[in-house]
Amino acid sequence: MSYYFAIIGTQDNPLFEYEFGTSKQGGDGQPRFAEQARHLNQFVLHSSLDIVEEVQWTNGQLYLKVIDKFFTNYISCFMTAGNVKFLLLHQPTATAGGGGGGAAAASTRNSTSVGANPTSPQTEEAIKNFFNEVYENYVKAIMSPFYKVNMEIRSPVFRQRVTAAGRKYL
């Protein structure tokens, strides 16, 4: 499972991006995106902004769950009240996504693991927790008096905390 997380400002401008891999089921936390796919991730993520704008009015929640899918890339969204979007692209690793071919033991283990099934309630819950923790830290980061609206978030502390949240929930 590989993740690409980005925060998008109110002008659809990127404020923060971070790539990481799963830490569950013995994952090492390293992203496993194919080299060509890495720059593509940014496009995939940004192209789903249109859908965010459609979905955001459908319910009053900040967490909009999986809103878009591009081949094996799933996009989850969390939108702050200030119209800043947190987008998480999650891509199940190829072997886990194959499904039928794997050994029975492996598939049962994978089916309960976070991320093996990107739309399962467990995954939704894990991502929700991740977003909530990032949101909390995001609020603290933008409370810094030297931060201006829609400015890139360069705080190393914030990056550390996102890393920690990723390790904890995903």
Partner 1 sequence: MASSKASRLGEETRMDKVNAELVVLTYGTIVAQLCKDFDSDYVEVNKQLDKMGYNIGLRLIEDYLAKSNTVRRCSNFRETAEMIAKVGFKIFLNITPTITNWTSDGKQFSLVFDENPFADFVELPDDGRAQDELWYSNILCGVLRGALEMVQMQVEAHFISDVLRGNDTTEMRISLIRYIDDELPPEDD
Interface residues toward partner 1, by CB under 8 A: 140-141, 143-147, 154-155, 157
Q: Taking the complex as a whole, how short is the minimal distance between the CB of residue 149 and partner 1, in angstroms?
A: 13
Phi-psi region of 71 (alpha: psi -120 to 50; beta: other; left: phi over 0): left
Q: 87 or 142: whose CB is closer to partner 1?
A: 142
Residue 92 has φ and ψ, to the nearest 5°, of -65, 145
- For helices 156-169 and 121-143, what crossing angle results, to 10°? 160
Q: 72 or 144: whose CB is closer to partner 1?
A: 144
Q: Taking the complex as a whole, how short is the minimal distance between the CB of residue 133 and partner 1, in angstroms?
A: 16
Q: 34 or 157: whose CB is closer to partner 1?
A: 157
According to the 3-state scheme, what is the secondary structure of 25-44?
CCCCCCCCCCHHHHHHHHHH
Cβ(163)–Cβ(21) below 8 Å? no
Q: Taking the complex as a whole, how short is the minimal distance between the CB of residue 145 and partner 1, in angstroms?
A: 3
Q: 84 or 141: whose CB is closer to partner 1?
A: 141
Q: 1 or 84: whose CB is closer to partner 1?
A: 84
Phi-psi region of 12 (alpha: psi -120 to 50; beta: other; left: phi over 0): left
Nearest to 82 by CA among 154, 9, 156, 164: 9
Q: Taking the complex as a whole, how short is the minimal distance between the CB of residue 26 and partner 1, in angstroms?
A: 35
Q: Taking the complex as a whole, how short is the minimal distance between the CB of residue 76 and partner 1, in angstroms?
A: 27
